[in-house]
A and B are shown apart, each in its own frame.
Chain A
Amino acid sequence: MSLEMTGAEILVRCLADEGVEHVFGYPGGAVLYIYDAIYKQDKFQHILVRHEQAAIHAADAYSRSSGKIGVAIVTSGPGVTNAVTGLATAYMDSIPMVVISGQVPTHAIGQDAFQECDAIGITRPCVKHNFLVKDVRDLALTIKKAFYIASTGRPGPVLIDVPKDVSMLPCLYDYPKEIDMRSYKPIEKGHTGQIRKAVQMLLQAERPMIYAGGGVILADAAEELNQLVDRLGIPCTNTLMGLGGYRASSDKYVGMPGMHGTYEANLAMQNSDVLVAIGARFDDRVIGNTTHFASQQRKIIHIDIDPSSISKRVKVDVPIVGGVKEVLQEFHAQLDAANAKPNAAALSAWWKQINEWRQLECMSYEQSDTIIKPQYVIQKLWDVTKGDAFICSDVGQHQMWSAQYYPFDKPRRWFNSGGLGTMGVGLPFAMGVQLANPGATVACVTGEGSIQMNIQELATCKQYNFTPKIIMLNNGVLGMVRQWQRVDYDSRYSESYVDSLPDFHKLAESYGHVGIKVEKPADVEGALKEAFAMKDRLVFMNILTDPSENVWPMVKPGKGLTQMLLGSEDL
């Protein structure tokens, strides 16, 4: 049955028909008809943020934690430009999202109208696709396409730019049930012959290794990955984006690879003879210098849904284009059929080697009873939350320490900006995750630098009763910048000291939250317990940590994977 509605009503109805339950946004002139339609509906909840960037980050994290498509609405002009960082963040990490932006009326486009900007042009390089809807009759179909494109193939954010007159004009509502685009046909199923080749290669390997990335999480393929590693008994590493894809508590797990990865993961990556990359893209932060990486002979099997990720930075021997879940299921089917086991003697020698590397204990650090070590805080956070919290991290040293010292056994428990490295995501991420998981234990690990990039969202948290526990590792410096200045710039700490910090716990209190200041190592565990006991409150923990502590191991930019600095003594 068709019904005449305004563009704004159609838009709101489409969102409801897509099953959207929550929308993050911020109103403005160009989206007033849309907000009027939101006022009149009760199908989804609108969360009013305090800055458009936070709306996009929150919708992004909602998607990361639930697997559903995050939705945000922003107005034209500054609304869109504020959204750009959020879009770029989601795009780099392949997160499915639909963002609606207002636009000036169609007749005013191109006239430098008030709050006009070329939203399509500005966002084009940081979205999977974008649409300008010039005719209200195209609106419903465009929204259908946007949801389809965002969530299929390699996922990503899609922006729909809606001019004000389009949201005002009437049209018959007819939401298409199915969609078929001749120009967009993502491949899900991997090539059987290629998979057979990969399985044979893997079974004959002497030093096999699985390197799993964010694609495993996005494809909900953690179960298939766990089964694969377990049945083969071979080492597995999860990238920063893939943490929790394979359970960290397994003895087959060798830790995270890359710039701040473990010694054993990096050496195993480098020395493997067959490396299976699953939903990972050989990022510069993961394999370092490509020439150094290629200096050691190995066969590479690469499973990825995006053909352009294959043979981009390293040459691949067996490319398999397809959805990670479907391809891994086919792997299992073929392993069942082959009824063969990996070479046991070779594998045992390989494990002996890896266990020797493990004995280096690259992540040990010196505990102190006078000054709080950041690593210790993360370990205690794991203890207090029994390793089962949803951890939203900001960007910097605290991000790396969280990834290193909070082992994840489950997917969709770890949220960070891995690709773009956006400082300020932590708090809005925690909002999105909390909304998608009501009642769950959510922690935001941040620093005094990152938190100030979106601290205004403490108000949003109060308004909607989001109760993440903010673990702020306050060392008074921009730690990661400082670490690089220490390592590469002869300790010339240019502009990496943060002066005039607010009294954070008092600031949190003024927003109506609970603030706790922790200054002594002995108080860390007690304070964490106290904070997590306050289930219905946001608790802001200002934890003063050792400013001289750095993240180790470290592969300096441009260096090879095995050229690791293990501590400040290596400098």
Chain B
Amino acid sequence: MRHIISVLLENEAGALSRVVALFAARGYNIETLTVAPTEDATLSRMTIVTRGSDDVIEQITKHLNRLIEIVKVVDLTDGSHVERELMLIKVRAVGKEREEIKRTVDIFRGHIIDVTEKAYTIELTGDKSKLDAFIDSIDRASILETVRTGGSGIGRGERILKA
């Protein structure tokens, strides 16, 4: 099953490599990983999207907790949460395709953030399935380049992750 694990860790050199090494050494899978400092610059917040059986996810959270620089670990999938990912996608936009792509972007509530004679660069935010759906809705051959940040997650309501 797909899990979204949120991690609060010391913003120190090498901390990220310990997390990645843990997954590599034990054969666990990282689907996406995002990390950036929080409002407190000494702390980083990381979101790891991974897949595994309940036993594997239990071991992943236990091993993450065991890393010295990690302050808190929570499996967001355990409760209600919001997930967002940002995608920048550059598509060929010439002739009548231009209008069609613009309409699709509007339907998905995206923005065209760069325009040339031949291409649009589109910014789109949503959960994984929405971004996948956008890609599926346009002609594959017109896609020039795709960049996705990977998922970021946060608990709903009063559920917070703090040091």
Contacts and interface: CB of A to CB of B under 8 A. Distances in A.
Interface of A: 120-121, 124-125, 128-129, 132, 149, 181-184, 306-308, 311-312
B69 A132 contact: no
Contacts of B59: 308, 312
Contacts of A124: 17-18, 21
12 contacts: A121-B17, A124-B21, A128-B68, A129-B68, A149-B68, A183-B68, A183-B69, A183-B70, A183-B71, A307-B66, A308-B62, A308-B66
Contacts of B55: 311
Interface of B: 9-10, 13-14, 17-18, 21, 25, 55, 58-59, 62-63, 65-66, 68-71, 163
Contacts of A149: 68
A248 to B, nearest CB: 33
B163 A182 contact: yes
Contacts of B69: 183
B68 A306 contact: no
Nearest to A184: B68
Contacts of B163: 182
**Interface of B (DSSP majority class):** helix
Contacts of A307: 62, 65-66
A49 to B, nearest CB: 28
Contacts of A312: 59
Contacts of B13: 132
Most chain B beta-carbon neighbours within 10 Å: one of A124, A149, A183, A184: A183
Contacts of B68: 128-129, 149, 181, 183-184
A129 B66 CA distance: 10
Rank and list the top 8 A-B pairs by shortest CB-CB distance, nearest first.
A308-B62, A183-B71, A129-B68, A307-B62, A184-B68, A308-B63, A183-B69, A183-B10
Nearest to A185: B71
Contacts of B14: 120, 132
A132 B68 CA distance: 14
Contacts of A183: 9-10, 68-71
Nearest to A310: B62
Contacts of A311: 55, 58
A308 B148 CA distance: 33
A40 to B, nearest CB: 32
A306 to B, nearest CB: 7
A448 B69 CA distance: 44
Contacts of A182: 71, 163
A311 B55 CA distance: 8
Most chain B beta-carbon neighbours within 10 Å: one of A129, A149, A181, A182: A182
Contacts of A181: 68
Most chain B beta-carbon neighbours within 10 Å: one of A129, A181, A184: A184
A369 to B, nearest CB: 52
A184 B69 CA distance: 7
Contact of B21 (A125, A128, A129): A125
A125 B25 contact: yes
Contact of B66 (A120, A125, A306): A306
Nearest to A321: B62
Given A183-B68, A308-B63, A311-B58, 11 more contacts: A120-B14, A124-B21, A128-B68, A182-B163, A183-B69, A183-B70, A183-B71, A307-B62, A307-B65, A311-B55, A312-B59
